Amino acid sequence: MTQASLLRFPKVFALMSVVLGGLPFLIYFVERNLGSLPTSETWYATGANHGPWRNGAEGLTIYYPLIVLLVVTVVAFASRGVKDKQRSLIAFGLFLVIIQLAILVAQMYLLTWTID
């Protein structure tokens, strides 16, 4: 494996973490500013059982992509780190997993109402 490809490997996963973790927040921000998504209080006042994104494509951006990326990150960084005997790669993978878990908790705390 070349040094250049080894350096790109962590950057791709870091970028995917930001994109997949931030996408539902971006969609939420855009829809709230355009007025197509009500506040959680307004939505609950309608008596609806599930959130407005429950059956929409937006709902698929919450949790699922990040959970899949989290599993792939663990497997990829552990296998590559052990294979290449680089503890720093395993440490960076662990750091990414912690960041991904933090984003997942933020999604759970702030966006769950949109699908539940």
pLDDT at residue 96, as a whole number: 94
Spell out, as residue ranges, where the chain has pLDDT lower than 70: 1-7
pLDDT at residue 1, as a whole number: 53
Question: DSSP readout, 1-48?
Answer: --HHHHHHHHHHHHHHHHHHHHHHHHHHHHHHHHTSS--HHHHHHTT-
pTM score of the predicted model: 0.85
pLDDT at residue 2, as a whole number: 54
pLDDT at residue 62, as a whole number: 93
Q: Where are the domains of the chain?
A: 3-114
